[in-house]
């Protein structure tokens, strides 16, 4: 584990907790149907209420998740935190936001499994929608704006569903329209220190990261500029 991961629920997303909404099943259009189906774990019934700020060090390694970092204690903490929010979710979607490499996919798959939700990665849905197999290629063949337009459409479509955990793209937060979609669910920010992000990104390289992989410039400085814009 290279760092703790802070999971902070956005205050606005908590504001409407307690208002039931919609059906009990996630209806997933065919173009969204590729991800692993939800598989509920046996959760205890004495769920406790939670506050608006949650701090979780994760992760364990559930079946199917490769290269995840986990320990029994961390698995328990994440499971307990997930149990805490169940009474307040009312089947609403959870959107994980955070920088590239902050752990949205890793944490999202675990959360989905614990909650019995389905997991989606919005980058993957955009790739599928435009028929191009990587975000880097979409940026290259089209543009970032084209990618963002498609990302907004994907988030709009997802926002009409229930019982989903969505790992959003690192840049999804920059478009206000995306917040109008994510606001329908619970938004959680994975707040990871810059050093840890840089280490994780360096481990796999920047070739698949269009915003970091340019001819010149230090990727660390680029991540820093994205995390702390002037
Ligand atoms: N808590 C953690 N501690 C250490 N490493 C982690 C942790 N969570 C995730 N990682 C590692 O960091 C890398 C990025 O994780 P992950 O793909 O889940 O992030 P992401 O936010 O979905 O990234 P992206 O938005 O770029 O797709 C992976 O190699 C993953 O194994
Ligand atoms: O891998 C990348 O470099 C990126 C992927 C997407 O999540 C984008 O949202 C992000 O801005 C850039």
Find the 104 Cα to ligand 1 centroid distance in Å: 7
Enter the ipTM. 0.94
Find the 139 Cα to ligand 2 centroid distance in Å: 9
Spatial separation of the C-alpha atoms in residues 161 and 33, rounded to whole Å: 13
Identify the pLDDT of residue 85: 81
Residues in the chain, total = 230
Ligand 1 surroundings by CB, under 6 angstroms = 1-2, 5, 58-59, 67-69, 98, 100-106, 167, 170, 200
Identify the pLDDT of residue 73: 76
Burial class (CB in 10 A: 0-12, 13-18, 19+), 98: buried
Q: What is the pLDDT along the chain (230 residues), one digit of tens a residue?
A: 444 444 444 433 322 222 323 333 333 444 444 344 343 332 222 232 332 232 322 333 343 443 445 567 776 787 788 888 888 899 999 999 998 889 999 889 989 988 999 999 999 999 999 999 999 999 999 999 999 999 999 999 999 999 999 999 999 999 999 999 999 999 999 998 888 888 887 777 666 666 666 555 666 676 677 666 66
Find the 135 Cα to ligand 2 centroid distance in Å: 7
Other CB atoms within 10 A of residue 205 CB: 11
Read off the tokens for 89: 């979710």
Find the 99 Cα to ligand 1 centroid distance in Å: 10
Ligand 2 surroundings by CB, under 6 angstroms = 100, 123, 135, 169-172, 209-211
For the entire predicted model, the pTM comes to: 0.72
């Amino acid at each position: 584990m290279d760092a703790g991961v802070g999971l902070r629920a956005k205050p606005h997303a908590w504001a409407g907790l307690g208002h039931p909404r919609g059906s009990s099943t996630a209806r997933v259009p065919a173009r969204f149907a590729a991800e692993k189906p939800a598989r509920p774990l046996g959760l205890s019934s004495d769920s406790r209420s939670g506050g608006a700020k949650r701090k979780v060090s994760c992760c364990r390694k559930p079946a199917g998740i490769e290269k995840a970092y986990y320990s029994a204690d961390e698995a328990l903490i994440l499971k307990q935190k997930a149990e805490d929010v169940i009474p307040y979710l009312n089947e609403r979607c959870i959107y994980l936001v955070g920088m590239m490499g902050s752990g949205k996919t890793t944490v999202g798959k675990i959360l989905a499994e614990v909650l019995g939700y389905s997991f989606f990665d919005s980058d993957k849905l955009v790739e599928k929608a435009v028929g191009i197999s990587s975000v880097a290629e979409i940026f290259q063949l089209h543009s970032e704006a084209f990618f963002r337009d498609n990302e907004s459409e994907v988030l709009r479509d997802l926002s009409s569903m229930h019982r989903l955990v969505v790992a959003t793209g690192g840049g999804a937060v920059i478009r206000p329209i995306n917040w109008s979609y994510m606001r329908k669910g619970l938004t959680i920010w994975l707040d990871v220190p810059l050093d840890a992000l840089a280490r994780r990104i360096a481990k796999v390289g920047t070739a698949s990261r269009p915003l970091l992989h340019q001819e010149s410039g230090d990727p660390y400085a680029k991540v820093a500029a994205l995390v702390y814009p002037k």
